[in-house]
Amino acid sequence: MPRLLFTIVAAASGWQLYEGEYGRNWFESLGDARENAKLLAATLHQHHGIPTAVVIEMTGNESVLLARHG
């Protein structure tokens, strides 16, 4: 089963959280975006067995892995 990515991207004056390719939520602070993404990823894996990961897209097309489940 392919891993579902929760991706955090800087957007305007805050942070956009994507679930796969779909925009899910917008947050003012990076900390709130991180906590929400980690909770969603962990819960989805725990309750449905879907492999997930949380990444932050950085400038220069780099990504940082924050969490991985499954």
The domain containing residue 53 runs over which residues?
4-63
Residue 35 lies in a domain: yes
Please state the rounded mean pLDDT for residues 27-42. Answer: 97
| Per-residue CA distances from 11 to 1, 15, 43, 59 (Å) | 30, 5, 25, 12
Segment 38-70, tens digit of pLDDT:
999 999 999 999 999 999 998 888 999 999 999
Contact 69, 51 (CB under 8 A): yes
Helix H or strand E encompassing 34: helix 30-48
Task: Round to whole Å and give the CA distance between 35 and 10.
Answer: 15
Q: Residue 70 falls within a domain, yes or no?
A: no
Domain count, the chain: 1
Q: What's the pTM value of the predicted model, to 2 decimals? A: 0.90
- Amino acid type, 31: G
Tell me if 36 sits within 8 A of 16, measured CB to CB: no
